[in-house]
């Protein structure tokens, strides 16, 4: 379940995922949320390293890990590992993101919450609420 404000709109994403975004009048991203089922070799222990490798594999550059945490509590008794990083996309857009791997009673989930650096402070409260609301 992905919680987001009514002003955010669903966008196309990979099959089996949920993605929403807040965009300005020109279509530029102001904020982005994505919820994906756990898919591969990611674990709570390797999450920061895995996430950076995944981002590189998608063509992102200038990736800088800013912080990471393990044992982060989520709803329904779930727990996770999170990493905050910044990167430049292949289209030369710069983002800051928090990406969390959540291990719950059922399948694990990955939530990604991102915004351009100049929007981070304004969007972080909304992004944080969305992360905290995830049910795995």
CATH 1.10.760.10 for domain 15-133: no
Question: Are 7 and 20 spatial neighbours (Cβ–Cβ below 8 Å)?
Answer: no
Domain residue ranges of the chain, discontinuous segments joined by +: 15-133
Higher pLDDT, 101 or 2: 101
Please write the tens of the pLDDT for every residue from 65-123. 999 999 999 887 889 999 999 999 999 999 999 999 999 766 689 999 999 999 999 99
User: Residue 107 has what pLDDT?
Assistant: 63
Task: Encode pLDDT of 31-47 as tens digits.
Answer: 999 999 887 889 999 99
pLDDT confidence of residue 13 = 84
Give the end-to-end CA distance of the chain in Å, rounded to a whole number: 8
Listed in sequence order, the DSSP H helices in the chain are 47-57, 120-133
Name the nearest CA neighbour of 124 among 33, 36, 63.
33
Q: Answer with the residue of higher pLDDT: 21 or 75.
A: 21
């Amino acid at each position: 379940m992905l919680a987001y404000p009514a002003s955010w709109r669903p966008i196309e994403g990979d099959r089996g995922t949920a993605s929403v975004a807040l965009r300005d009048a020109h279509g530029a991203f102001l904020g982005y949320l994505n919820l994906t089922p756990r898919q591969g070799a990611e674990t709570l222990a390797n999450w920061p390293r895995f996430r950076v490798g995944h981002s590189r594999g998608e063509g992102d550059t200038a990736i800088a890990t800013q912080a990471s945490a393990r044992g982060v509590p989520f709803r329904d008794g779930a727990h996770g590992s999170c990493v905050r990083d910044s990167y430049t996309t292949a289209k030369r857009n710069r983002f800051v993101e928090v990406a969390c791997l959540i291990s719950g009673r059922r399948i694990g989930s990955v939530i990604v919450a991102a915004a351009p650096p100049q929007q981070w402070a304004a969007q972080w409260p909304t992004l944080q609420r969305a992360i905290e609301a995830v049910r795995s």
